Amino acid sequence: MKDFLQYLLSLIVDHPDEIKIEEKAFGENTLQYIVSANQEDIGKIIGKGGKIIQSIRNVVKILAVKENKQIRIEVG
């Protein structure tokens, strides 16, 4: 899941080598991903009105449901 998220984000940003994703587990089925990136890329990840990050969350959520997991993605 983390690798897939890294791949998606690398397609959007100008500095893919600066993307860092921290994974935290909450129980067996809940994961939180905290994404940090170059300041210039944060706006691209979030998108106008949060549309890009919401779309990324939706795609990752589809994969998570298949694995019986809950996923949270935070950008900071």
Q: Tell whether pTM > 0.75.
A: yes
Would you say 19 and 66 are in contact if contact means Cβ atoms under 8 Å apart? Answer: no
DSSP H helices in 1-76: 2-12, 39-46, 51-66
pLDDT band at 15 (very low <50, low <70, confident <90, very high): very high
Among 70, 75, 48, smallest CA distance to 60 is for 70
Would you say 20 and 34 are in contact if contact means Cβ atoms under 8 Å apart? Answer: no
Which residue segments constitute the domains of the chain, with CATH numbers given?
Answer: 2-75 (3.30.300.20)
Residue 16: predicted pLDDT: 96
pLDDT tens per residue, range 16-32: 999 999 999 999 999 99
Q: Which residues pair with 22 in a beta bridge?
A: 34
Using DSSP, state whether 32 is helix, strand or coil: strand
pLDDT band at 76 (very low <50, low <70, confident <90, very high): confident
